[in-house]
Amino acid sequence: MKKFINAVDSLLDESILGFAKAHADIIQLQSEPTFVRRKEPTRNGKVVLISGGGSGHEPLHTGFVGQGMLDAACPGQIFTSPTPDQMLAAAQAVENGGGVLFIVKNYAGDVMNFEIAGEMLECNNASVLIDDDVSLPKDHSTGRRGVAGTLIVEKIVGAAAENGADLATCKSLGDKVNQATASMGVALSSCTVPALGKPTFDLAADEMEMGVGIHGERGRETMKLASATEIVEHIAQQIDDELKPQQGQQALLHVNGFGGTPLLELHLLYDLAAQYWEKRGINICRSLVGNYTTSLDMAGASITLTLLDEEMLKLWDAPVNTASLRWGC
Amino acid sequence: MKKFINAVDSLLDESILGFAKAHADIIQLQSEPTFVRRKEPTRNGKVVLISGGGSGHEPLHTGFVGQGMLDAACPGQIFTSPTPDQMLAAAQAVENGGGVLFIVKNYAGDVMNFEIAGEMLECNNASVLIDDDVSLPKDHSTGRRGVAGTLIVEKIVGAAAENGADLATCKSLGDKVNQATASMGVALSSCTVPALGKPTFDLAADEMEMGVGIHGERGRETMKLASATEIVEHIAQQIDDELKPQQGQQALLHVNGFGGTPLLELHLLYDLAAQYWEKRGINICRSLVGNYTTSLDMAGASITLTLLDEEMLKLWDAPVNTASLRWGC
């Protein structure tokens, strides 16, 4: 295993110290238990948005803490849910009379721990469950996974909370954005989890893993490596089956890299995906291309489409000032 | 070779189409010859900044075209200089009475082609040569290479040009920032150039390439893989030998990923590098961490330090609105 680390056990602590140092103008790091919060105190009565999940997906979620997006984020161990005491401490630190909205990716550990934190928390709270990954069937035993669509919910609901929307409104908006969002990923390599020290699965030189998640698990199907156009069409069809976009519909297209794939290839995928939907009369009016929801060093990418109404579009465009998403501020 | 492409020959064209589509609010793409320019016309009398170089280093340089930074960028073939006609066309398209400043990384092809373009151009023009890579000795036959420090020159001089500085002032500021900047990189893997289809060099599982460039070439030395702390100290000492920073000096610390290394590791390197200089009394007052000057899919990172005076600090902080660097706008 080749990584820039001192020791497997200290990797996360050293990395988050660097993150906090590099972005001390926006966030502050709390320890015992660990969470990242906005530097500025919460405005009285504002709904606070808190997310979290296993580490290894950076910049998700810590890179999205700041004005117009999350109020706090709780990083777990690599690919492991954060604990309820992290979520509770984060909520208590930033809540200021408006209640707490947890943004939770649909994984058993995350769901259970955020639920426990919500029960322990002595203020109004609610959760939005993200399950945008269409590579699993809708009736899968544990439901569909939350993947790259998560940041889109965080951005849009974060803007609404900033504008003064109440908890019930933020919760129903979050559910609506999640419903309007579908994602699917493909890997060209596995990732290497530091504690394991070797790739979590093997792919032959002419194979790819279609419908892959973000935790180094196998995907839906191992397929022969195909052209970028064939890959995009395969994924886009799954997304269309789910969202059934109508002609003239406005949409946000997000091409996300998993960590080991360069921007050159992500932009190529973006072009092909935009072409696919434009040919079908969809108005791709907003874009996001880059490494945002990663899986350590995995080579691969996911495509996410969010169908936008006018309210969602306006909230997407609203100012945001975080380590990894920034405009209008 | 596993990449998201349709064909080696069409990769660059398809990728830049995607880039232009995804950032149509900021830039426009011109073809025959290819260059990227700001969407808005140049303000009368403003010095225009133009850079360019081989592709494969994205987001450098196209991702830095926009308000407060470059006016145009010319992408060449992968790891190959753009041609003088690209540079000439870009200059003629954006020049508006203030003259042209070329920002040129020190590689023989780039230097020659920008020189030809400058001679053909019928308006005031000058060049800043970037040679921040301290892994080669100062008296190396072709001089030192221009690497990740390039974007720092582009940002600071871009802000000065936006503020109305004239060509001679921009040129001397660019030279000053280049002098105040030193970089060195280390690779854990080679990159794979699409036309070659295999890694350009091999490293054993316990080896790293120290003092590596950004074109898939071998570095200064193949070394045994070391801890992150040892790697950072090795690089930081080379940078100190060059810049000789004084106690209390303000500096910008830039940890750059080469394309295949996740943010988790880059933040860890940032923490260690910040500690190194803070212990020596250097005031690391600005940071930049991420994949900015890449070498396709190479796993690795570089560390850049720029010593800042008050003017440079103010210009670094000035508003910028490009695809890959954005604040204050």
Task: Tell me the pLDDT tens digit for each residue of B92-139.
Answer: 999 999 999 999 999 999 999 999 999 999 999 999 999 999 999 988
Of the partner residues B16, B59, B228, the one whose CB lies closest to the CB of residue A6: B228
Q: What is the mean pLDDT of chain A?
A: 97
Of the partner residues B14, B227, B264, the one whose CB lies closest to the CB of residue A56: B264
Instruction: Provide, as residue numbers in chain B, all residues whose Cβ is less than 8 Å from the Cβ of A277.
Output: none
Of the partner residues B11, B55, B268, the one whose CB lies closest to the CB of residue A14: B268
Say what percent of chain B tops pLDDT 90: 97
The tokens describing B23, both together, are 């950032």
* A28 and A151 together in one domain: yes
Is residue B35 a part of any domain in this protein?
A: yes
* A35 and A175 together in one domain: yes
* A25 and A150 together in one domain: yes
DSSP letter at A328 equals -
* B165 and B189 together in one domain: no
Task: Tell me the pLDDT tens digit for each residue of A50-102.
Answer: 999 999 999 999 999 999 999 999 999 999 999 999 999 999 999 999 999 99
Q: Which residue has the tokens 């080579």?
A: A299
Q: Is B57 known to be catalytic?
A: yes
pLDDT grade for A214, boundaries at 50, 70 and 90: very high
* A168 and A269 together in one domain: no
Is residue A32 a part of any domain in this protein?
A: yes
pLDDT grade for B228, boundaries at 50, 70 and 90: very high
Q: Is B267 known to be catalytic?
A: no
Return the number of other C-beta atoms located less than 10 Å from residue B168's C-beta: 13
Residue A297 pLDDT > 90, yes or no? Answer: yes
* B169 and B200 together in one domain: no
To the nearest whole angstrom, how far is the Cα of B139 from the nearest Cα of chain A?
Answer: 31
Sign of CA dihedral A91, A94, A100, A102: negative
Determine the structural domain holding residue B282 and report its residue range.
182-316
pTM here is 0.98
With an 8 Å Cβ cutoff, are A18 and B259 in contact? no
Give the per-residue pLDDT at B197.
93
| Bond from prior residue into A33 cis (ω within 30 degrees of 0) | yes
Q: Find the CATH number of the domain harbouring B285.
A: 3.30.1180.20
Is residue A267 a part of any domain in this protein?
A: yes
* B154 and B175 together in one domain: yes
The tokens describing B262, both together, are 């996740």
Give the per-residue pLDDT at A141.
86
Give the per-residue pLDDT at B138.
86
CA triple B51-B27-A185, angle to 5 deg: 100
Residue B168 pLDDT > 90, yes or no? Answer: yes
Alpha-carbon Rg for chain A, nearest whole angstrom, is 19
Give the per-residue pLDDT at B249.
97
Best of B1, B4, B15, B58 to disrupt the A interface by mutation (most A CBs within 10 Å)? B4
Q: What is the mean pLDDT of chain B?
A: 97
Is residue B210 a part of any domain in this protein?
A: yes
Tell whether A204 is within 8 A of chain B (Cβ). no
Q: Of A150, A180, A210, which one is at a domain's C-terminal end?
A: A180
Residue A189 pLDDT > 90, yes or no? Answer: yes
ipTM above 0.95, yes or no: yes
Residue A321 pLDDT > 90, yes or no? Answer: yes
To the nearest whole angstrom, how far is the Cα of B4 from the nearest Cα of chain A?
Answer: 5
Q: Mean of the pLDDT values across residues A198-219? A: 94
* A215 and A113 together in one domain: no
Taking one residue from A and the other from B, the number of pairs with CB-CB distance under 8 angstroms is 184
Q: Mean of the pLDDT values across residues B278-291? A: 98
Q: Find the CATH number of the domain harbouring B63.
A: 3.40.50.10440
To the nearest whole angstrom, how far is the Cα of A291 from the nearest Cα of chain B?
Answer: 9
* B154 and B274 together in one domain: no
To the nearest whole angstrom, how far is the Cα of A18 from the nearest Cα of chain B?
Answer: 4
Is residue B246 a part of any domain in this protein?
A: yes
Q: Of B149, B180, B211, which one is at a domain's C-terminal end?
A: B180
Instruction: Provide, as residue numbers in chain B, all residues whose Cβ is less than 8 Å from the Cβ of A7.
Output: 227
Is residue B212 a part of any domain in this protein?
A: yes
Q: Of A131, A152, A180, which one is at a domain's C-terminal end?
A: A180
Q: Which residues contact B226 (CB under 8 A, 6 or more apart)?
A: B208, B234
Q: Mean of the pLDDT values across residues B15-42? A: 98
Give the per-residue pLDDT at A138.
86
pLDDT grade for B281, boundaries at 50, 70 and 90: very high
Q: Mean of the pLDDT values across residues A114-125? A: 97
Which strands make up the sheet holding A35-38, listed edge to edge? A27-30, A35-38, A72-78, A48-55, A100-105, A125-130
Closest to A285 in 3D by CA, of A311, A269, A307, A315: A307
Task: Tell me the pLDDT tens digit for each residue of B150-165.
Answer: 999 999 999 999 999 9
* B300 and B172 together in one domain: no
pLDDT grade for B240, boundaries at 50, 70 and 90: very high
pLDDT grade for B329, boundaries at 50, 70 and 90: confident
With an 8 Å Cβ cutoff, are B261 and A297 in contact? yes
How many domains, in total, are found in chain B?
2
Is residue A64 a part of any domain in this protein?
A: yes
Q: Mean of the pLDDT values across residues A191-198? A: 94
The catalytic position among B23, B57, B61, B254 is B57
Tell whether A197 is within 8 A of chain B (Cβ). no
* B14 and B50 together in one domain: yes
Say what percent of chain A tops pLDDT 70: 100
Of the partner residues A228, A262, A267, the one whose CB lies closest to the CB of residue B22: A267
* A197 and A309 together in one domain: yes
Give the per-residue pLDDT at B141.
86
Give the per-residue pLDDT at B74.
98
User: Helices (H), strands (E): how many in chain B?
Assistant: 8, 14
Tell whether A296 is within 8 A of chain B (Cβ). yes
Catalytic positions of A: 57, 215
Of the partner residues B16, B56, B267, the one whose CB lies closest to the CB of residue A18: B267
b/e map of A5-42 (b: 16 or more CB within 10 Å)? Answer: bbeeeebbebbbbbbbbbbeebbbbbeeebbbbbeeeb
Is residue B324 a part of any domain in this protein?
A: no
